[in-house]
Amino acid sequence: MNIPQSVIWEKGAIQLLDQRKLPHVTEYVTLDTVPAVFDAIQSLAVRGAPAIGIAAAFGVALSAMSHPTGDIDELKEQVLIDSGYLSQSRPTAVNLFWALNRMNDAVTRAVTADELRESVVAEALAIQKEDEDVCRSIGEHALPLFKDGDRVMTICNAGSIATAKYGTALAPFFLSKERGLQLSVFACETRPVFQGARLTTWELMQAGVDVTLITDSMAAHTMKTKNITAVITGADRVAANGDSANKIGTFGLAVLAKSFGIPFYIAAPLSTFDLDTPNGDAIPIEERNPAEITEVNGMRIAPEGIAVFNPAFDVAPADLITGIITEKGIVKPNEQAIAKLFA
Ligand SMILES: CSC[C@H]1O[C@H](OP(=O)(O)O)[C@H](O)[C@@H]1O
Question: What are the extents of the domains in the chain?
Answer: 7-136, 140-341
Cα–ligand 1 centroid distance for 245 (angstroms) = 9
Please tell me the distance from the alpha carbon of residue 138 to that of residue 172, in angstroms, as a whole number.
8
Full pLDDT tens readout for the chain, 343 residues: 788 999 999 999 999 999 999 999 999 999 999 999 999 999 999 999 999 999 999 999 999 999 999 999 999 999 999 999 999 999 999 999 999 999 999 999 999 999 999 999 999 999 999 999 999 999 999 999 999 999 999 999 999 999 999 999 999 999 999 899 999 999 999 999 999 999 999 999 999 999 999 999 999 999 999 999 999 999 999 999 999 999 999 999 999 999 999 999 999 999 999 999 999 999 999 999 999 999 999 999 999 999 999 999 999 999 999 999 999 999 999 999 999 999 9
Tell how far the Cα of 227 is from the centroid of ligand 1, in angstroms: 26
Closest atom, ligand 1, to C-alpha of 95: 2
Q: What is the third-level CATH fold of 7-136?
A: Four Helix Bundle (Hemerythrin (Met), subunit A) (1.20.120)
pLDDT at 3: 87
Which residues line the annotated binding site? 47-49, 90, 195, 246-247
Which residues belong to the active site?
Answer: 236
Report how far ligand 1's centroid is from the alpha carbon of 321 (Å).
17
Mutation test of ligand 1: which of 44, 47, 173 has the most ligand atoms closer than 8 Å to its C-beta?
47
Per residue in 147-185, pLDDT (tens digit) is 999 999 999 999 999 999 999 999 999 999 989 999 999
Which atom from ligand 1 is nearest to the alpha carbon of 159?
Answer: 1
Q: What is the CATH class of 140-341?
A: alpha beta
pTM over 0.95: yes
Write the DSSP symbol of residue 272. G
Alpha helices (H) in the chain, listed in sequence order? 34-42, 49-66, 72-86, 94-109, 113-142, 171-179, 195, 201-206, 219-225, 250-260, 291-294, 335-341
Based on C-alpha coordinates, what's the Rg of the chain?
20
Interatomic CA distance for residues 104 and 78, integer angstroms: 12
Q: Which parts are annotated binding residues for substrate?
A: 47-49, 90, 195, 246-247
- Ligand 1 is surrounded, with C-beta below 6 A, by 47-50, 156, 158, 162-163, 168, 195, 233-234, 236, 246-247, 312
> What pLDDT does 190 receive?
98
**The pLDDT value given to residue 1:** 79
Atom of ligand 1 nearest to the CA of 286: 10
ipTM: 0.99
* Euclidean distance between CA atoms 194 and 335, whole angstroms: 33
If you measure from the C-alpha of residue 208 to the centroid of ligand 1, how many angstroms do you get, rounded to a whole number?
A: 22
